[in-house]
Homo-oligomer: A and B are copies of this chain.
Amino acid sequence: MAVSVREVAAAASVSVGTVSNVLNRPEKVAPDTVARVLAAIDELGFVRNDAARQLRAGRSRSIGLVVLDVRNPFFTDVARGAEDRAAEDGMTILLGNSDDNPDRERAYLDLFEEQRVHGVLISPRSDDLPRLERARSRGVPVVLVDREAPDRRFSSVAVDDVVGGAMAVRHLVESGRRRIAFVGGPASIRQVADRLEGARRAAAETPGATLEVVETSGTTVLEGRAAGEAIRDRASEHRPDAIFCANDLLAVGVLQALMMLGDVRVPGDIALIGYDDIDFAQAAVVPLSSIRQPAWLIGYTAVDLLLREARDGADFEPEQVQFQPELVVRESTGR
């Protein structure tokens, strides 16, 4: 069925070694031999078998990417950045969504390891460091995405979520709000925990400011809507005067619950700020203030680091890249 180098070699009356040379080091082969081989390849419709190359090379030309959920525009952008950088080197991205499920995360890591991926990009849910450590020790470069490395042995590309969280709450406080609610969860997601931590610190700076936590079971629009409805249904004196959501999807959901399904005004009654600054934030019912992160660049940089590590092997000095979050003020916090 499939055409192999052997048949190409026969058709061009050369050896298989020469065919391989034409494919990989054409400058080492006499011009007319190259032409003859290429003609044979073309005529027979030969397509290299990557599995065989990999077997010999010891690793594949794919990079595994494990994220919480690509449906979150933040991760989608990260994935695009990663793909764009990977494509520059003729590599492909293997996509895996962990759905905040340690088992799925582990399953993907195993799968990727079997595929002998060139490396793994992971926005790790669980702190299954041993597993990552093991992968590394087997020579699989691992780069942590959107997560600072716990020790200097991993490369990472991250944004300081504690700073970002503090930024958000400080902004709310500066616009005169005091009774602040944090909507987000589960706390097991590091990004959520860090943003909350930052929020706590910022709230603690201001006497009289309080921070209430409304925990959600996930970070989608739906869960945001549920949290928003719970807040909306309280007696108005028990409502916060500002809400900081762990991401923009939640904020969009909260917005729906408050304004569109209820009659709480944003920012009149409650100021609202999200996180990530996804494309839709500025197109929301009330344009959403948010904390911006360079998502595409994070993905791009992560693959870049990964490829460097793959190239330099043991000589590679892990690098921790840290981007800074940025406050974007829009109507939802009463510009």
Contact = CB atoms under 8 A, between A and B. Distances in A.
Contact of A71 (B62, B77, B110, B287): B77
Interface string A19-45: 000000000000000000000000001
A138 B283 contact: no
B83 A50 contact: no
Interface string A65-109: 000011101001101100100010010111111000000100010
A232 interface: no
Contacts of A92: 94-96, 108, 111, 115
Interface in A248-285: 249, 252-253, 255-256, 260, 279-280, 282-285
Contacts of A113: 47
Interface residues of A, number: 57
Contact of A80 (B47, B70, B279): B70
Interface stretch (A52-60, A118-126, A233-241): A52-60
Contacts of A58: 2
Given A2-B138, A47-B114, A283 B280 contact: yes
Contacts of A280: 221, 252, 280, 283-284
Contacts of A221: 279-280, 283
Given A1-B139, A283-B285, A285-B284, A83 B95 contact: yes
B51 A80 contact: no
A4 to B, nearest CB: 11
A48 interface: yes
Nearest to A112: B92
Contacts of A47: 110, 113-114, 138
11 contacts: A51-B60, A70-B76, A71-B76, A83-B95, A90-B111, A92-B111, A93-B94, A260-B282, A260-B287, A280-B280, A280-B284
